[in-house]
Amino acid sequence: MVETLASTSLAKPVGQPPEAPVPALVSALARRPTVPTDPRAVERARAFAEPLLLAETLDTGENTLDHADGVAQIIDAIGGTTEMKACVYLVYACQYLNRPREVISKAFGPDYADVAIETTKLVQLQRQTRLKAAQIRAQRAAAEQAGTAAARIGATELEASQTENIRKMLLAFSRDLRVVMLRLASRLQTLRYHAASKTVPDESLASESLHVFAPLANRLGIWQLKWEMEDLAFRFLEPDTYKQIARLLDEKRVERESHVEQVRSQLEAALRAQGIQAEVQGRPKHIYSIVKKMRGKSLDFDQVFDIRALRVVVPEIDDCYRVLAYAHAHFSPVPEEFDDYIAKPKPNGYQSLHTVVRDEQGRAFEIQIRTQAMHEHAEHGVAAHWAYKEAGAKGYAGVSASSDYDAKIAVLRQLLAWQSDMGAAQHLFDDAIYVLTPHAAIVELPKGATPVDFAYAVHTDLGHRCRGARVDGAMVTLNTPLQNGQTVEIVAAKEGGPSRDWLNPEQGYLVSHRAKSKVRAWFNALAAQDNIQRGREALDKLLQREGKTAINLEELAAGLGYDHPQALCEALGKEEITLRAVEQYLNPPQALPTPDEVVLKKARGEDRAPQGSVLVVGMDSLLTQLAKCCKPAPPDDIRGYVTRGKGVSVHRADCPDFATLAQRHPGRVIDVQWSGAKAKGEHAPHYPVDVAVEAIDRQGLLRDISDAFAREKINVIGVQTQSVKGVAWMTFTVEVPDAMKVARVMAVVQDVPGVQRVWRR
């Protein structure tokens, strides 16, 4: 069942003040205005839940119906609506209904069902997170016994990540503020129950209360929940320190209260004599706030000035500074203990003057000075500060709230600030959603993510084997966008891999970068294996033809600049290196003759570079030919290699074959350059260039790519195609006047549907 929260006992720890109700504007924040008011909603909801809950108990052993009653009382105390109180009972009834959304919607309406279902999901999620934290602590304890510091650190980091996940989930569910209000009340009731029954809650629950829920209550301005939650959680986490501070407070309570009352009455009378209508109150101290101040400033208990504290509430801002002047004139101020939060409010809009003074006996006490509106804001936060006219059009902290919509925006801004306080990396309105595994673990995904994205987020292998999905128990297609808070279950095959369709953006299977990269990596690995196999077959045929099948492949690969034979075979399969380069390595040419012995044969017409297009630096009338391995075209960066009997072979500077030749015979490398001469019309030179395309194979693909060349007026003189496991590999040999034309047409081909990669060979 949902988390243990309640008890019929509402006992509070010693020193806790009575709760002050948050103004009714909380109701506007925590409900949708479209919900009709039903005065009997609470009575109906309790009657509906009673037969389901009466005999049930929660994890703490508390009766579930008593638990729900306690939560409803807290909601009532903080000004919650009738609808919110009714939802308390429906939340706890959810678990015992076969189709809770359908049943609750029929009996109370879909809005009640939404709140009940969402709150139940969040409670289940938090329980799962605490169970994980308990496991982590057990692992950490075992690691500490074994003296493994690394394991200790790892457990601490994992525990911190789970706490961060709770914050993220609260932010995600905060789009319906009623869920947040119910969770705050619910967590306080859990702590009250443990205090009343003198039982100790799970450490992760108390820690979560102190570090997540109390700061959230602080940001929403529900101070009474915040203070009580902090003190109770601290009482369970550090019982010895709590008892020590409580004992110190009790030891001089009579003396302290007598002194505070004396100063209070004197100050109030003096201010009224000055014409200032001031209400002076003693201010309660909270044990956790005392401990925080002692630790934060390295103080002893006697050095905490605001153990004795007064609060002065006046009508106008000017009165605040008049009271301050009087206090500083009639008492001895402590300069370093003065803060003006009126001139510079705190981030959540809190305003007040804080000063510490000493009386004639040297006893220090704190005075807080504020207007009535500031006081209401300090007590009730964003739920109250725009209710006072003196806040003006801008409200406090620059927040305007002229309507219910503005009220909700103001609260969400405070949630955003709370998130910043807690160091969360994910902003409230970022494009992210949070969904659950069947075991209620949290998975963060980008907005619009699908079940396939979810599967890859859980585990790469699960993503590869994903074949179907259930969302909240119903089967859905794999490209269905997920919604915040849904529970997702993946139906997986025992083995297999992803579909090529998942990479097609038009079909909407993948949104997250992680999932896309994992799918691409899968197919790249397949392509690598195919390339290795194709390259190995070609290499074996060459070695058989050359009669060198006994050659050491490790040495062959190293000689050609590769770390191992698989890398060489993959390069051959991808045509990054040609068999000619391997053949030249196996049959190195004779030593280069001296310049006066060079005999260059006239190259065949189809092999020659277009007339006058390439110049050999420092030499005239030397025959040149364009290398077939890389097919250079101006203005490519080119290099020359002197062959034996065929003149100068011209390669692109980035040609892998040329790199191999240059490494083995650096003396044959010479400088070449394009002549720069431009012919026109029929005499303009054209250069053959190979354009490679990788695409998802489909009907009409070759036609569409050919049409793209035709639209760019590119003459295609040769095509090679091959399809392997749904992937088409194509090489188009085209004639172009220069390489810049190739770059333009490659960009056009890249836009053809299904094309994944276009490159120049």
Residue 99: exposure state from Cβ atoms within 10 A (0-12, 13-18, ≥19): exposed
Which pLDDT score, from 0 to 100, does residue 388 have?
Answer: 30
Domain residues for the domain of 296 are 247-399
Q: Are residues 203 and 266 located together in one domain of the fold?
A: no
Q: Are residues 275 and 383 located together in one domain of the fold?
A: yes
Q: Are residues 160 and 275 located together in one domain of the fold?
A: no
Q: What is the mean pLDDT of residues 84-102?
A: 90
Instruction: Give the pLDDT band of residue 115 (cuts 50, 70, 90).
Output: confident
Which pLDDT score, from 0 to 100, does residue 298 have?
Answer: 75
Write b or e for each residue in 23-45: b if 16 or more Cβ atoms lie within 10 A of its Cβ, otherwise e: bebbbbbbbeeebeebeebbeeb
CB distance 458 to 443 below 8 Å: yes
C-alpha torsion sign, points 652, 656, 658, 663 = positive
CA neighbor of 568 nearest in space, from 584, 556, 583, 585: 556
Is the predicted pLDDT of residue 462 greater than 90, yes or no?
Answer: yes
Average pLDDT, the chain: 76
Q: What is the mean pLDDT of residues 626-640?
A: 86
Distance between CA atoms of residues 312 and 369, nearest Å: 5
Residues 574-628 pLDDT 10s: 777 778 778 777 777 555 444 433 333 333 444 455 544 676 655 655 678 888 8
Instruction: Give the pLDDT band of residue 17 (cuts 50, 70, 90).
Output: very low
Distance between CA atoms of residues 434 and 457, nearest Å: 12
Instruction: Give the pLDDT band of residue 420 (cuts 50, 70, 90).
Output: very low
Instruction: Give the pLDDT band of residue 511 (cuts 50, 70, 90).
Output: very high
Which pLDDT score, from 0 to 100, does residue 209 have?
Answer: 87
Q: Are residues 693 and 738 located together in one domain of the fold?
A: yes
Question: How is residue 723 written in tokens?
Answer: 């399809």
Q: Which residue has the higher pLDDT, 482 or 181?
A: 482
Q: What is the mean pLDDT of residues 109-125?
A: 84
Question: How is residue 67 written in tokens?
Answer: 């638990």
Which pLDDT score, from 0 to 100, does residue 222 have?
Answer: 74
CB distance 29 to 406 below 8 Å: no
Q: What is the mean pLDDT of residues 106-129?
A: 82
Instruction: Give the pLDDT band of residue 409 (cuts 50, 70, 90).
Output: very low
Distances (CA, A) of 635 to 118, 641, 657: 64, 18, 20
Residues 288-315 pLDDT 10s: 877 887 787 777 776 665 577 889 999 9
Question: How is residue 665 written in tokens?
Answer: 């015979």
Question: Residue 535 contacts by C-beta under 8 Å, 6 or more apart in sequence?
Answer: 568, 569, 570, 571, 572, 573, 574
C-alpha torsion sign, points 93, 94, 95, 96 = positive
Order across the sheet with 624-626: list the strands.
624-626, 648-652, 638-642, 669-670
Domain-terminating residue out of 511, 528, 545:
511
Is the predicted pLDDT of residue 148 greater than 80, yes or no?
Answer: no
The answer to whether residue 690 is domain-embedded is: yes
Is the predicted pLDDT of residue 336 greater than 90, yes or no?
Answer: no
Which pLDDT score, from 0 to 100, does residue 431 have?
Answer: 64
Q: Which residue has the higher pLDDT, 355 or 9?
A: 355
Type of residue numbered 245: I
Residue 148 Cα to chain centre, angstroms? 31
The answer to whether residue 337 is domain-embedded is: yes
CA neighbor of 126 nearest in space, from 160, 156, 167: 167
Q: Kind and range of the H or E element at 332?
A: strand 332-333
Q: What is the mean pLDDT of residues 240-258?
A: 77
Instruction: Give the pLDDT band of residue 516 (cuts 50, 70, 90).
Output: very high
Q: What is the mean pLDDT of residues 172-176?
A: 60
Write b or e for each residue in 565-584: b if 16 or more Cβ atoms lie within 10 A of its Cβ, otherwise e: bbbbbbbbbbbebbbebbeb
Q: Are residues 463 and 366 located together in one domain of the fold?
A: no
Type of residue numbered 454: F
The answer to whether residue 744 is domain-embedded is: yes
| Of 93-97, 104-108, 160-164, 363-367, the least confident | 160-164
Which pLDDT score, from 0 to 100, does residue 174 have?
Answer: 57
User: How many domains does the structure of the chain reveal?
Assistant: 4
User: Using DSSP, how many helices (H) and how many strands (E) does the chain show?
Assistant: 26, 21
Domain-terminating residue out of 511, 533, 558:
511
Q: What is the mean pLDDT of residues 5-9?
A: 31
Type of residue numbered 101: R
Percent of the chain past pLDDT 70, that is, above it, reads 73
CA neighbor of 547 nearest in space, from 581, 587, 591, 580: 587
Question: How is residue 462 written in tokens?
Answer: 């699960």
SS (H, E, C) 87-110: HHHHHHHHHHCCCHHHHHHHHHCH
* 442-446 vs 432-436, strand pairing mode: antiparallel
Q: Are residues 363 and 257 located together in one domain of the fold?
A: yes
Vertex 146: Cα angle to 141 and 147 (nearest 5): 95
Which pLDDT score, from 0 to 100, does residue 16 have?
Answer: 37
CB distance 357 to 331 below 8 Å: yes
The answer to whether residue 6 is domain-embedded is: no
| Of 142-146, 244-248, 336-340, 735-739, the least confident | 142-146
Q: What is the CATH number of the domain that holds 751?
A: 3.30.70.260
| Of 57-61, 253-257, 684-688, the least confident | 253-257
The answer to whether residue 153 is domain-embedded is: yes
Q: What is the mean pLDDT of residues 552-568?
A: 83
Cβ neighbour number for residue 659 with a 10 Å cutoff: 17
Q: Which residue has the higher pLDDT, 63 or 284?
A: 63
Domain-terminating residue out of 511, 537, 571:
511
CB distance 585 to 569 below 8 Å: no
Q: Which residue has the higher pLDDT, 219 or 3?
A: 219
Strand ranges for 253-328 from DSSP E = 279-282, 309-314
Question: How is residue 697 written in tokens?
Answer: 């194979």
Q: Are residues 173 and 42 located together in one domain of the fold?
A: yes
Which pLDDT score, from 0 to 100, does residue 66 have?
Answer: 86
CB distance 441 to 128 below 8 Å: yes
Q: Are residues 208 and 104 located together in one domain of the fold?
A: yes
Is the predicted pLDDT of residue 736 greater than 90, yes or no?
Answer: no
| Of 298-302, 360-364, 471-475, 647-651, the least confident | 298-302
Distances (CA, A) of 426 to 172, 431, 501, 512: 10, 9, 31, 16
Which pLDDT score, from 0 to 100, does residue 386 have?
Answer: 28
Which pLDDT score, from 0 to 100, does residue 154 have?
Answer: 45
Q: What is the CATH number of the domain that holds 96?
A: 1.10.3210.10
The answer to whether residue 663 is domain-embedded is: no
CA neighbor of 746 nearest in space, from 709, 702, 699: 709
Q: Which residue has the higher pLDDT, 24 or 492?
A: 492
Is the predicted pLDDT of residue 245 greater than 70, yes or no?
Answer: yes
Which pLDDT score, from 0 to 100, does residue 404 have?
Answer: 44
DSSP string, 497-513: ---GGGG-GGGT---SH
Question: How is residue 32 written in tokens?
Answer: 């949708």
The answer to whether residue 450 is domain-embedded is: yes
DSSP string, 630-649: T---TTS-EEEEE-SSS-EE
Q: Are residues 292 and 174 located together in one domain of the fold?
A: no
Which pLDDT score, from 0 to 100, does residue 322 have?
Answer: 93
Which pLDDT score, from 0 to 100, does residue 368 have?
Answer: 92
Q: Are residues 352 and 299 located together in one domain of the fold?
A: yes
Distance between CA atoms of residues 44 and 63, nearest Å: 20
Which pLDDT score, from 0 to 100, does residue 700 have?
Answer: 87
Vertex 689: Cα angle to 684 and 692 (nearest 5): 155
Question: Residue 702 contacts by C-beta under 8 Å, 6 or more apart in sequence?
Answer: 719, 721, 728, 730
Distance between CA atoms of residues 576 and 563, nearest Å: 15
Residues 177-236 pLDDT 10s: 778 888 888 899 989 999 999 998 888 788 888 888 888 787 776 777 888 899 999 999
Which pLDDT score, from 0 to 100, does residue 393 have?
Answer: 36
- Tell me the range of 26-30, 48-52, 757-761 where mean pLDDT is highest: 48-52
Q: Are residues 208 and 354 located together in one domain of the fold?
A: no
Q: What is the mean pLDDT of residues 546-574?
A: 82
Question: How is residue 449 written in tokens?
Answer: 């993510």
CA neighbor of 45 nearest in space, from 87, 92, 103: 87
Q: What is the CATH number of the domain that holds 297?
A: 3.30.460.10
CA neighbor of 587 nearest in space, from 579, 595, 577: 579
CB distance 755 to 704 below 8 Å: no
Q: What is the mean pLDDT of residues 335-348?
A: 84
Q: What is the mean pLDDT of residues 329-342?
A: 88
Which pLDDT score, from 0 to 100, does residue 621 have?
Answer: 57
Q: What is the mean pLDDT of residues 523-532?
A: 84
Distance between CA atoms of residues 380 and 393, nearest Å: 19
Which pLDDT score, from 0 to 100, does residue 390 have?
Answer: 30
Spell out the alpha helix ranges (H) of 331-450: 372-380, 404-421
- In this structure, what DSSP letter does residue 405 have? H
| Biggest distance spanned by C-alpha atoms of the chain | 120
Q: What is the mean pLDDT of residues 148-177?
A: 56
Distance between CA atoms of residues 71 and 311, nearest Å: 31
The answer to whether residue 426 is domain-embedded is: no
CA neighbor of 579 nearest in space, from 660, 639, 641, 645: 660
Cβ neighbour number for residue 680 with a 10 Å cutoff: 6
Phi, psi of 690 (to 5 degrees): -95, 130
Distance between CA atoms of residues 237 and 751, nearest Å: 61
| Of 98-102, 452-456, 590-594, 678-682, the least confident | 590-594
Q: What is the mean pLDDT of residues 71-98?
A: 87
Helix (H, G, I), strand (E, B) or coil at 473: coil
Q: Are residues 40 and 174 located together in one domain of the fold?
A: yes
Type of residue numbered 232: L
Output the pTM of the full model. Answer: 0.51
Distance between CA atoms of residues 468 and 476, nearest Å: 7
Is the predicted pLDDT of residue 632 greater than 60, yes or no?
Answer: yes
Residues 353-384 pLDDT 10s: 999 888 887 788 889 999 988 887 776 554 44
Question: Residue 247 contacts by C-beta under 8 Å, 6 or more apart in sequence?
Answer: none
Q: What is the CATH number of the domain that holds 482?
A: 3.10.20.30
Instruction: Give the pLDDT band of residue 253 (cuts 50, 70, 90).
Output: low
